[in-house]
A = this chain, B = another copy of it.
């Protein structure tokens, strides 16, 4: 049935020539075009550069092999396996210790898998591109080193100092799923130059003050902080973190009260001025980079769409893409999409009511393809079809649960519950927490919450009830409370922790105020980005943990540092006073690098900064002075990452608040919604088309729609497409005016570089490309 396709003319689809020039059948040719267009669109979405685009059939096969979730999962699990190995390698977590032979073999296995992955990548990219791709080259080098080391370990049957293990995180960073982490790292490195400038200023003042401090305070022999220039420098560095603050001042202050001026001036300049300057500079650079990144991603997507478009038009109909070809594209781009959704996506893109989607319409592809489509219900409530009496009852419940009185009553109950818990907890001072008999207050409040849940579910219908995030939260909290009650009633000790989570119910109070709702909404929007930033921090932690373990494993233990200035914190004495044994315990020996989990906790403590010098001095007293470098570098690295995190949170919230201020009328919208109407004839037409192409397998859902329409006697059905709002949508709105300029500039640049062989109307990119936003409606 290939005859039903338009004959492909190579001139109309020049890009397709790259990987399927040898194909002759038109049908097959079109399939290849669909696939390549889908690949272009994927590259646009993932911000893959086009020079990695597969250039021939062999490369295409490798590309397809390396671009599916199975392969990605393999990549990820190999990387995780390599990282997790450090739990088992000496110094290992006691419970997870493995023999050298076992973990070295596991490592070799993982590395072989990585080699296989790299081979697939080389096959896809070709040797030339492979060599030019920097990240891949770094990965190859690291792989090589790791391979040799793993073999050495196997041969010698003993671990040597392997700080190169810190480089293992490169395998994780290179994973497809860790794209966000890569972007974060890039952004951190881009923010570095101005950061380093200000850091130098900071260190410069530190050196000046160290010299001054040495001159001023070293004559005082009871002052251990400034007796040499080195200790003066170290203590002022620690003072930068305020971690030794009043202590470092005390000996000189005891001697001469005016010496506090030195410290006040130092802290005012360094901590309160230059540190904030650092934040300002990073914040500014960050903002700038975010905008540039958004711009380049936007233009990259646009180019991807242009490439895909050129592969889907025909010479006969050069002004747009027909549904047949669009459907073919979606079969490769989103195989899981059903026929109904494909048609609705096509309808949503097509704004001109012609049977073709023009380039201008096609530019909205990414915004539209993510929508989830649902038939708009004709019924307002789920109980509209019920008998009159039942309807009235449910209607009454519906009005009740939607009323303000009901809401505020519930808030009051939660508040009372909160106070109750507080008072209850205050009353039991170290008694038996989990009495056998369940407290009656618990049952009363739980009953109220249960009734509320029941009323809301019946009044709103389960689907509408659970579609709100807040209700979902209420539901799960009540469920947890119920489970806690069960645990108490049936005396299941391991589940007592659920009872402890009771105070979390108070979180429901935060629905009350708009600012909190905004904060929480923004928090949810930020969550993916925050998670990736957290992961980035963890990667830094991993590197430092490995280095720390290699150098400092086992150096601190109880009573290790009796000669140092921080001896007290490491002391562990067991002495008898009267007839009682008193244990005097300075717990700091627990903050060690004895295995990777301990190292992570120690590094977190270093991140929090308070009293970090105790850990540093403890380790230093057992090793050399140079150990301080490790701790100081770690401080600076976390300072960078933390400043970026602060800048990110600042930026996100300020951005959001500006956005809210700009759009005060449409504040309450919680997503992007699109409405499309489909007539019965259209559905029947689509069914016919599908029957011709691929048999009846895909038309079942469409036929159901026809049946539904027949049942209710409708001539058309309205569908709602919905997706949550992303940062990108907000940016679109914020940079509205600038985006036009970018497009114009971009298309000017393109016109001078390559002459597009498509109709003039298609390359006319000065038309408003994002009309989706205009059509989006506010739904509360």
Residues of A within 8 A of B (CB): 194, 197-198, 201, 204, 207-208, 211-212, 214-216, 218-219, 222, 227-230, 242-247, 250-251, 253-254, 257, 260, 264, 267, 271-273, 276-277, 279-281, 283-284, 287, 421-422, 425-426, 429-430, 433, 500-501, 503-504, 506-507, 509-510, 513, 515-516, 519, 523, 568, 583, 585, 587-588, 590-591, 597-598, 601, 604-605, 608-611, 614-615, 642, 645-646, 649-650, 652-654, 657-658
Also in contact, A608 and B251, with CB within 8 A (given A211-B421, A506-B208, A650-B276): no
Chain B residues whose CB sits within 8 angstroms of the CB of A650 once the complex forms: 276, 279-280, 283
How far, in Å, is A495 (CB) from chain B's closest CB? 14
* Given A211-B422, A215-B433, A280-B653, 7 additional A-B pairs, CB 8 A: A204-B506, A246-B588, A246-B611, A250-B590, A253-B587, A264-B604, A281-B657
Which residue of B194, B229, B242, B653 contacts A277 across the interface (Cβ within 8 Å)? B653
How far, in Å, is A267 (CB) from chain B's closest CB? 6
Also in contact, A246 and B591, with CB within 8 A (given A276-B646, A657-B284): yes
Which residue of B208, B254, B260, B500 contacts A212 across the interface (Cβ within 8 Å)? B500
State the CA gap A748–B254 with chains docked (Å). Answer: 66
Cβ of A649 and Cβ of B254 under 8 Å apart? no
Chain B's closest residue to A615 (CB) is: B246
State the CA gap A242–B608 with chains docked (Å). Answer: 7
How far, in Å, is A443 (CB) from chain B's closest CB? 19
17 A/B residue pairs, CB under 8 Å, sorted by A:
A197-B516, A201-B510, A208-B503, A222-B585, A228-B429, A228-B430, A229-B425, A242-B608, A244-B610, A246-B608, A246-B610, A257-B601, A273-B649, A276-B645, A280-B649, A281-B657, A283-B650
State the CA gap A430–B242 with chains docked (Å). Answer: 26
How far, in Å, is A62 (CB) from chain B's closest CB? 42
Cβ of A608 and Cβ of B253 under 8 Å apart? no
Also in contact, A608 and B245, with CB within 8 A (given A421-B211, A653-B284): yes
Chain B's closest residue to A506 (CB) is: B208
State the CA gap A229–B198 with chains docked (Å). Answer: 44
State the CA gap A395–B598 with chains docked (Å). Answer: 70
Chain B residues whose CB sits within 8 angstroms of the CB of A507 once the complex forms: 208
Chain B residues whose CB sits within 8 angstroms of the CB of A194 once the complex forms: 515
State the CA gap A198–B519 with chains docked (Å). Answer: 9
Cβ of A610 and Cβ of B608 under 8 Å apart? no
State the CA gap A204–B583 with chains docked (Å). Answer: 36
Q: Which of A215, A264, A279, A429 has the most CB of B within 10 A?
A: A215
State the CA gap A194–B601 with chains docked (Å). Answer: 34
Q: Which of A222, A242, A585, A645 has the most CB of B within 10 A?
A: A242
Chain B residues whose CB sits within 8 angstroms of the CB of A523 once the complex forms: 273
Chain B residues whose CB sits within 8 angstroms of the CB of A271 once the complex forms: 608
Chain B residues whose CB sits within 8 angstroms of the CB of A197 once the complex forms: 513, 515-516
Cβ of B591 and Cβ of A280 under 8 Å apart? no
State the CA gap A79–B273 with chains docked (Å). Answer: 29
State the CA gap A205–B588 with chains docked (Å). Answer: 28
Cβ of A503 and Cβ of B246 under 8 Å apart? no
Chain B's closest residue to A423 (CB) is: B229
Chain B residues whose CB sits within 8 angstroms of the CB of A228 once the complex forms: 429-430
State the CA gap A473–B503 with chains docked (Å). Answer: 61
State the CA gap A768–B365 with chains docked (Å). Answer: 45
Chain B's closest residue to A653 (CB) is: B280
10 closest residue pairs by CB, A with B: A250-B587, A280-B653, A245-B610, A242-B610, A276-B649, A208-B503, A215-B500, A211-B503, A280-B650, A284-B657
Cβ of A283 and Cβ of B201 under 8 Å apart? no
Chain B's closest residue to A522 (CB) is: B277
Cβ of A590 and Cβ of B264 under 8 Å apart? no
Chain B residues whose CB sits within 8 angstroms of the CB of A229 once the complex forms: 422, 425-426, 429
Cβ of B216 and Cβ of A500 under 8 Å apart? yes
How far, in Å, is A241 (CB) from chain B's closest CB? 8
State the CA gap A284–B662 with chains docked (Å). Answer: 14
Q: Which of A211, A243, A253, A422 has the most CB of B within 10 A?
A: A211
State the CA gap A229–B430 with chains docked (Å). Answer: 9
Chain B's closest residue to A279 (CB) is: B650
How far, in Å, is A120 (CB) from chain B's closest CB? 38
State the CA gap A407–B421 with chains docked (Å). Answer: 72
Chain B's closest residue to A424 (CB) is: B211
Chain B residues whose CB sits within 8 angstroms of the CB of A276 once the complex forms: 645-646, 649-650
Chain B residues whose CB sits within 8 angstroms of the CB of A207 once the complex forms: 422, 503
State the CA gap A502–B614 with chains docked (Å). Answer: 33
Chain B's closest residue to A654 (CB) is: B284
Which residue of B198, B590, B652 contacts A254 across the interface (Cβ within 8 Å)? B590
Chain B's closest residue to A242 (CB) is: B610
Chain B residues whose CB sits within 8 angstroms of the CB of A201 once the complex forms: 510, 516, 519
How far, in Å, is A239 (CB) from chain B's closest CB? 9
Chain B residues whose CB sits within 8 angstroms of the CB of A601 once the complex forms: 253, 257, 260
Cβ of A645 and Cβ of B272 under 8 Å apart? yes
Chain B residues whose CB sits within 8 angstroms of the CB of A245 once the complex forms: 605, 608, 610-611
Chain B's closest residue to A601 (CB) is: B260
How far, in Å, is A586 (CB) from chain B's closest CB? 9
State the CA gap A425–B247 with chains docked (Å). Answer: 24
State the CA gap A440–B65 with chains docked (Å). Answer: 75
How far, in Å, is A363 (CB) from chain B's closest CB? 29
Cβ of A590 and Cβ of B253 under 8 Å apart? yes
Chain B residues whose CB sits within 8 angstroms of the CB of A219 once the complex forms: 433
State the CA gap A426–B214 with chains docked (Å). Answer: 10
Cβ of B277 and Cβ of A610 under 8 Å apart? no
Chain B residues whose CB sits within 8 angstroms of the CB of A215 once the complex forms: 425, 433, 500
Chain B residues whose CB sits within 8 angstroms of the CB of A283 once the complex forms: 650, 654
State the CA gap A577–B244 with chains docked (Å). Answer: 28
Chain B's closest residue to A604 (CB) is: B264
Cβ of A425 and Cβ of B214 under 8 Å apart? yes
How far, in Å, is A25 (CB) from chain B's closest CB? 56
How far, in Å, is A410 (CB) from chain B's closest CB? 18
How far, in Å, is A291 (CB) from chain B's closest CB? 11
Chain B residues whose CB sits within 8 angstroms of the CB of A590 once the complex forms: 250, 253-254
State the CA gap A87–B298 with chains docked (Å). Answer: 65
How far, in Å, is A639 (CB) from chain B's closest CB? 13
Also in contact, A246 and B430, with CB within 8 A (given A197-B516, A214-B425, A503-B208): no
Chain B's closest residue to A606 (CB) is: B246
Cβ of A251 and Cβ of B653 under 8 Å apart? no
Also in contact, A208 and B504, with CB within 8 A (given A513-B197, A610-B242): yes
Chain B residues whose CB sits within 8 angstroms of the CB of A426 once the complex forms: 229-230
State the CA gap A198–B201 with chains docked (Å). Answer: 34
Chain B's closest residue to A642 (CB) is: B272
Cβ of A243 and Cβ of B211 under 8 Å apart? no
State the CA gap A276–B208 with chains docked (Å). Answer: 32
State the CA gap A283–B500 with chains docked (Å). Answer: 37
Chain B residues whose CB sits within 8 angstroms of the CB of A227 once the complex forms: 430
Cβ of B587 and Cβ of A267 under 8 Å apart? no
Cβ of A611 and Cβ of B247 under 8 Å apart? yes
State the CA gap A87–B633 with chains docked (Å). Answer: 45
Chain B's closest residue to A430 (CB) is: B218
How far, in Å, is A641 (CB) from chain B's closest CB? 11
State the CA gap A211–B429 with chains docked (Å). Answer: 12
